[in-house]
Amino acid sequence: MNLLDLASIGRHDSLYVSPRVDDALLSCAARLRSERSKGHSILIVSVFDAAGFAGSPSPLVRDLGASTYTLGLAREDPEGPGAPPSLPVFDPVKGEPALDRLTRMFDDLRPRVRARHVYLPIGLLGRRDHRLVVQAGLAGLANDHGHNVFLYEERPEVFVPGCVRVRLGLLGARLPAGAVRGVGEAGLLRYLMRAPQPYAARGQRPSVRELPGVIRRAAAERRAARAWNPQRAFGPRLQPVLHAADEPSAAFAREVLGSLVPSAASRARLASQAAAYAKAVGGGAHVERYWLLLPQLDGRDSEGVRLTEDETA
């Protein structure tokens, strides 16, 4: 993957920001394929010069016809599976040079790409790199009118029961009435037992020494999000948008899974969990959920916002 040269980057319809190589590809496979089938130009920018999966990088992103680059940032504080949680996305971070540098990079990138749709990770299960990326992305890419900013649910993290509810609670997200019914909730034991699984699927299985840290972090975040009230919260206003894939896009998503996850057992487990997730959020062979960032309007609600077919397809 080539290092991003701002001078050579032109306008694209959609910008997908991926913390590491292939993170966005697996999470947004059906959406990516759907946009390309409509002739949309796509730019995928990975932030860190590291693979998101043991099988990265996938050749399918090149076959898709998307432009792919990396910012080439090195990890400044290597994260093991048991690392403590990072600060909440919408809180100011002091003494973190990577955040300032990345925000400036995104601020320089935004007017060159002029994307109609921007996709950022939502930051499930306390991954430091993902939360740094979304915080910088919201500061550097989400401050223009005339485009949509979506937070995508990372895979395989999203298959941990209850993790989306926990993340929305940590963000203090304000949701339209009824939207909370689709975010899922799980008992504490089930949530904690599944929390280490995404690391194993990525080829980063926690060691015996790291496993308690993974569980402690998941438990701490769940406790911190317990008081969340989605209709009275004062954080970002988000609206769920479901992308129900057609069969070609669903098939592409299955191909991506097969190319990134080398373990047959992990692939089978993730395929089963993806089917269960699709059924839970809206049905269909393959469903991806995105969270549209709505403007903060003084004294007015946004439940009446409508997206055009082109914006939601």
Q: DSSP for 190-227, please give it.
A: HHHHHTTHHHHHTT-PPPTTTHHHHHHHHHHHHHHTTT
How many CB atoms within 10 Å of residue 284? 17
Among 136, 276, 162, 282, residue whose Cα is nearest residue 228: 162
**pLDDT tens-digit series, residues 191-234:** 999 999 999 999 988 889 999 999 999 999 999 999 999 999 99
List % helix, strand, coil for the chain (3-state, nearest 5): 40, 15, 40
**pLDDT tens-digit series, residues 49-82:** 889 999 789 999 989 999 999 998 876 444 556 4
**pLDDT tens-digit series, residues 161-202:** 999 999 999 999 999 988 988 888 878 999 999 999 999 999
Does the model's pTM come out above 0.75? yes
CA atoms of 150 and 138, how far apart (whole Å): 10
CA atoms of 51 and 204, how far apart (whole Å): 11
Please report, for residues 104, 168, 180, 222, 277, the alpha-carbon distance to residue 185 in angstroms, rounded to integers and kept in the order given: 37, 12, 10, 11, 12
Sketch out the chain's domains with CATH numbers.
2-312 (3.40.50.10320)
CA atoms of 10 and 2, how far apart (whole Å): 15
Over residues 129-141, the mean pLDDT reads: 92
Provide the 3-class DSSP secondary structure of residue 233: coil
Q: CA angle 120-172-147, nearest 5°?
A: 35
The secondary structure of residue 148, as a DSSP letter, is E
